[in-house]
A and B are shown apart, each in its own frame.
Chain A
């Protein structure tokens, strides 16, 4: 079986224009994402998580190393990567959900237009003919229903929606072209804890129903544990630990992973040890 993504010794170095200091965002990273696997990429901000995701989406080219999509190299040197992408219908097969739906949705477009936009591409995947206007409307209604939005949400604008609803729109847009692979960059970290549960439920259901391959980036190991069966831990652009989620969650080997796990805020189990955090002054009664 061919892997969906094969990341082979990839480095990504950013050279700021007026600075001599190069930023090594990814340092010799290798990773294989198999079909229907659900990968979580965790690490602090600046660890290279988002850079890795952008490379998988073909939005950037690596400085060195190679990334293959289903066995074929994604970014052959000297070739326009966007062309290569569209030739193989990759644009519609690989879809992205971003962290902040406030900035990833165009404020001047209605929800319906946002969700239908990926269906209007000129070069479509082989087999899927370009959709007519009524077909696009039908598909839009279908995916909006799938993410739990009512049909009349299509006429609304993003600013009329709550944060959770906006993230549902972003997910609907990603699902509209019927992708096989979903890349998600911190899809719930801009949301309220109470809304987070709804979106996690939605993602869990959709990934299972559609048999999606998922690559999810998050700083929160709790979120990754819930959605992903495999984890790669990134620190300073290097993968320091990979493995099945349960194993890494239960027995992290690297001190850095242990630190990430310990930082996830948790509610005290039943009754918190009240002596530990005594008020500096007596409470009013």
Chain B
């Protein structure tokens, strides 16, 4: 009887693979030879992208806008538009995500894999109180009473240091500041204790003081929950603040991967060297000509 109940999970659930003897050898997330094309003209957005993310690891994905950073995150979430053609493999805990039925992906999203988007004003529904939106994430994946759910939401809001979490939960998105909205999204992402959080430029729309605070919170929340993180940003300084490892994507292809310290000390690709130079604004003499990425790609950068 018990075995029977276990078998008849919600339809479309991915088959769980038996965990191998050595847990460490199974990456949490693994992309292999991922290619993505868009539209009629088959513009290639990702070229042969492969990477591994261990449980609890924080990997920064850095590149210019249009380089394919967000496409990578959307491919993992199974949220690419219908016009996209994808080949290769994305495995989460050994289970193939590419081509998996929508129901299976929906069960995964928000529970095992959560996402924090760049623009909290567009990620939140303007007509719904934020507490209810956060509660939605819980109730999609577990049956819980609304009272218990609300308690959990308020606890989660308190954990991301939202002042007066009860009041925030009853507020509409427009009544909150940008930093508060981003903390609501972060709290919502953390609600189901996901094993992987995808952050797509989570602080780009915020000003520097709020950014510093949100990054700090993210850092602590990840440490507390042990979740792994794929952190997408164009800003090397921001990525270095959160991640141990960095992957540099240029024109849809990964050009360099490694620990932050090594990459900063010995960047091998000219694009990486350009990014590092551009991020060191504070070291340039005021008014002097700043090195640009193009200088390095042309080979004229120092």
Interface residues of A (CB under 8 A from B): 44-46, 162-163, 189, 192-198, 200-201, 204, 208, 219-223, 225-227, 229, 245-246, 259-260, 262-268, 270-272, 274, 277, 279-284
Contact = CB atoms under 8 A, between A and B. Distances in A.
Given A277-B244, A281-B226, A283-B57, A267 B236 contact: yes
Contact of A283 (B244, B276, B287): B244
Interface stretch (B2-10, B35-43, B140-148, B207-215): B207-215
B268 interface: no
B287 to A, nearest CB: 6
Given A219-B209, A277-B244, A266 B235 contact: no
Contacts of B94: none
Interface size grouping (class) on chain B: 35 or more
Contacts of A194: 64, 234, 274-275, 278, 292-293
A45 to B, nearest CB: 5
Interface string B208-246: 111110010001001100100000001111101100110
A163 B24 contact: no
A268 B52 CA distance: 25
B55 interface: yes
B286 A225 contact: yes
B10 to A, nearest CB: 30
B64 A44 contact: no
B177 A46 contact: yes
Given A280-B223, A284-B27, A197 B208 contact: no
B291 interface: yes
A195 B290 CA distance: 11
A200 B56 CA distance: 38
What secondary structure prevails in chain B residues at the interface with A? helix
Contacts of A222: 281-282
The 3 closest A-B pairs by CB, nearest first: A281-B56, A219-B207, A265-B237
Contacts, number: 136
A284 B54 contact: yes
Interface in B248-302: 260-261, 264-265, 274-282, 284, 286-287, 289-294
B226 A263 contact: no
Contacts of A192: 64-65, 234
29 contacts: A44-B207, A45-B178, A162-B65, A193-B235, A193-B237, A193-B275, A194-B274, A194-B275, A197-B293, A198-B292, A201-B290, A201-B292, A204-B289, A221-B208, A225-B282, A225-B286, A226-B281, A229-B286, A263-B209, A267-B236, A268-B264, A270-B264, A271-B264, A279-B244, A280-B56, A280-B222, A280-B223, A281-B57, A283-B57
Given A196-B278, A201-B292, A277-B244, A263 B57 contact: no
Contact of B24 (A201, A265, A277, A284): A284
Nearest to A205: B289
A162 B66 contact: yes
Contacts of A221: 208
B211 A223 contact: no
A277 B177 CA distance: 29
Interface in B104-162: none
A201 B241 CA distance: 26
A265 B235 contact: yes
Contact of A280 (B65, B177, B212, B226): B226
A150 B209 CA distance: 38
A45 B177 contact: yes
A283 B275 CA distance: 25
Contacts of B234: 192-194
